[in-house]
Amino acid sequence: MSQFNSAAVDGPESPETPGNRTGTRWGRDRRWLRIVAIVGVVLVPLAFAGLFVSALPNANSAIDHIPAAIVNQDKLVYTTAADGTKTPVFAGRQLVTELTGGSKGFDWTITNEAAAKKALADGTVYAILTVPSNFSSSILSLTSSSPKQANLAIKTDDAHSYLTGAVAQTVGDTMASTFGKAITAQYISGLYSSIGDIGGALGKAADGASQLSTGVNQYTAGVDSLAGGLGTLNSGAAALSGISKGVSTYTGGVSQLAAALAAANAQLQATPNDPVAIGTVNAISAQLSAAAAGGTTLSQQTTAGISGIQGGIAKSAAGASQLAAGSAGLGTGASSLASGLKSGADQIPASNSKASATAAKVASDPVGLTVTTDNPIKHIGQVIATFFVPLGLWIGALAVFLVLRPVTRRALSSTAANGRLVFSALAKAGAITVGQAILLVALLHLSLGVAWSALPATLGFAALMALAFTAFHYLLTIGLGRAGLVISLLLLAIQVTSTGGLYPIQLLAAPFQWVSPLLPLSYGVQGMQAIIAGADAGTVVVAAITLLGFGVGSVLLALVAIRRTRRVGSLVLEAAPGLNRA
């Protein structure tokens, strides 16, 4: 392998005589470049370690800066209370308000489904959270006979950031768990409230039972009173039979005495001094006196019988009144008891063992989460390769110019055109770096399982990266000599920290986010990641065009640098002809 001596750095110093100003300036340039190289070498370890430390100053809260979209498709539903009052329920809006109103993982933006898909595809957002249309109704179903879990969905895309999928899973699980616990707490609160309602209904039933007991007591007392009155009435009625017999006997005796008195009176009319008739009249008078005494007794017996009947009737009426009052209390108590028992029964949902098990399962985990990934990368090795293939090609280009020098003094002093010198050197170095790209692509497909159908894309893109990085390192070495390779290491440290790819650049401190779009390695990682993930070709095309521009720009600047190098070198050779050697 031929070696090129760098006129910019590696030639011997020119004599610094008072008359040799060109040699003096050349020596100063060389010393300045050496100082820069030494300082750069000292800073390389610090650059790698320090940049990583400073890139994540707020690692705990950095996740809140990752952009993500929310698509709320939830529909408003209403609940109806026992009194007919309707209450709107919009759980999706509540969730969105909580996420956008504070630090809830990711920087959430509310949008529609089409805009969210486009933003995820072009990498503007790294995740989409979708709240389904039945979210509120599913949450309300927890108190119904057919409870079902409310599901949220998160979608990510490996073509832009592999680790975002894992982060989204964690954020989503935390979000679903937190929101689910709040729902479970409300459910348990409602359960206790229902138990209180059941207790109130059973209390009402107890009051009804007490009223029913009072009514029964009044009713039975009325029945007893009515029975006593009827007994008294019955006794009075029995006495009426004796009165009736006495009245009959009394009226019969009076009739007989009246007949006898009439006969005696007729005889006295005929014979006024008839002793028999007079004796008969006297006897009948005595009997009438006795009958009058019997009439008093009969009157007393009649009064007593009628009084007994009246007392029985009054007692019966009082008993009937008590019975009626007891009957009313009995009806009120029975109604209260029935109403209370029905209300309590209504508070207890009909269920069975299967429904109870379903309700318990949903209540313990009321909100579920589904995470899907567009353009998934199957193996972690492929993910790592998307970063290390561009990294390897950068280091490979650096290594080439550690071995090869960009130009010889003989070439500098020749009459060859600048373009010929540049392209000749790039052709030799590019052949080596393209070989490196072929080996890395072979590793991708043979060892890491990348589909062979992607071989044209992976090989073409890797070769483009290799040539672009080669042109840039040629520019560094032709312009700065070996100090340019130190600059390459420093740039590598910055790029390794700022490139992203495996993780969103929003996790980094602001300066690293600003510089990331300016770094060639960023586009190398983006393009390779999109190819392996099978994403839209637009990302690959943008990355390829950027790298092509980076390479072409490096070649154009290299032409300027070699022109300056040849001019300075010719002045040195003119001032010190003894240095003109290969």
The two tokens of residue 282 are: 């006297």
Specify the length of the chain in residues: 582
What does the pLDDT read at residue 337? 56
Segment holding 135, helix H or strand E: helix 135-140
For residue 480, what pLDDT band results from cuts at 50, 70 and 90?
confident
The two tokens of residue 40 are: 């750069």
What does the pLDDT read at residue 399? 92
pLDDT at 202 over 70: no
Mean pLDDT highest for which of 268-272, 385-389, 402-406, 463-467? Answer: 463-467
What does the pLDDT read at residue 159? 80
What does the pLDDT read at residue 68? 87
Sequential DSSP letters for 438-455: HHHHHHHHHHS---GGGH
Averaged pLDDT score across all residues of the chain: 73
Give the span between the Cα atoms of 384 and 397, in whole angstroms.
20
What does the pLDDT read at residue 544? 96
- Give residue-wise pLDDT tens across range 496-534: 888 876 777 777 778 888 888 899 999 999 999 889 988
Ramachandran sector of residue 501 (left: φ over 0; alpha: ψ -120 to 50; beta: rest): left
What does the pLDDT read at residue 108? 84
For residue 308, what pLDDT band results from cuts at 50, 70 and 90?
low
What is the Cα 111 distance to its own chain's centre?
18
pLDDT at 414 over 70: yes
Q: How far apart are the first and last CA of the chain?
A: 16
Give the span between the Cα atoms of 432 and 468, in whole angstroms.
13
Q: Pick the residue with more confidence: 157 or 246? A: 157
- HSE, CB side, 13 Å, CA atoms: give it for residue 125: 25
- Give residue-wise pLDDT tens across range 549-578: 999 999 999 999 888 877 765 544 444 444
* Contact by Cβ (8 Å): 9, 33: yes
- Give residue-wise pLDDT tens across range 352-405: 556 666 666 666 677 778 888 888 887 788 888 888 899 999 999 999 998 888
Mean pLDDT for 114-139 is 87
- Give residue-wise pLDDT tens across range 38-96: 766 666 666 555 565 565 655 556 677 788 888 988 888 887 776 777 778 777 788 78
Backbone φ and ψ of 378, nearest 5°: -75, -40
CATH number of 63-196+350-374: 3.40.1710.10
pLDDT at 448 over 60: yes
Neighbours of 423 (CB within 10 A): 15
Backbone φ and ψ of 272, nearest 5°: -55, -30
Contacts of 381 (CB under 8 A, 6+ apart): 447, 448, 449
Mean pLDDT for 94-107 is 75
pLDDT at 3 over 50: no
What's the 3-state SS for 62-127?
Answer: HHHHCEEEEEECCCCEEEECCCCCEEEECHHHHHHHHHHCCCCCCEEEECCHHHHHHHHHHCCCCE
Nearest Cα neighbor of 526 from 123, 193, 178 is 123
Contacts of 123 (CB under 8 A, 6+ apart): 157, 159, 160, 539
pTM exceeds 0.75 for this model: no
User: In Å, how far are 167, 519, 540 from 430, measured between CA atoms?
Assistant: 40, 21, 22
Q: What percent of the chain lies above the pLDDT cut of 70?
A: 57
pLDDT at 471 over 80: yes
What does the pLDDT read at residue 438? 96
Buried b (16+ CB within 10 A) or exposed e, 327-345: eebbeebbebbeebbebbe
